[in-house]
Structure 1
Amino acid sequence: MIYNIQIKVMPLKELLDPQGKAVLGSLKNLDIHNVQDIRIGKHITLQIDAASETEAKQIAETTASKLLANPVMEYFEIELVN
């Protein structure tokens, strides 16, 4: 069966997000002052052929932890979608 998995990779909350800070500064230059903070990450969609939902999530977990996210600087969240 094919499972659709979404993985969100974001910078750790404890670390500075230079890309987010640059965008926040640009918003202020555009006279948009209501945005208090921006964190920029990655959104990845996988289609996984697996025997079960559990197996699909395990494959996604392995993929994210070994390839998609740098655990020193980022965390990730996995979500099964329809």
Structure 2
Amino acid sequence: MAFVVVEGAAKKHKKMKCQDKKYCSCYHQNLYCPDSCPITCVVDCVSCQPVSTLPPPPPSPLKVRRRSPPPPPKTYPSPPLTP
């Protein structure tokens, strides 16, 4: 009887490519995000290296526009009483 223990799944590296045609030595070259990237990376076409990027901050809660209270009802003087 044999037991196999797997410690964590293998992390799949994200493949990136330089998309800027001005850098022909790096253009469309397969590059992979480094292990140290928390979530994603981008390619610096000048250095032809993948660079880790931080995830964007969570969106701030939308400010709720409060409506001003309605104006008070208009009051009209009561008509004079007739004797």
Query: TM-score if structure 2 supplies the norm length?
Result: 0.28
- More strand by percentage: 1
- More helix by percentage: 1
Please say which structure displays the higher CA radius of gyration.
2
Question: Which structure has the higher relative contact order (CA within 8 Å, separation 6+)?
Answer: 1
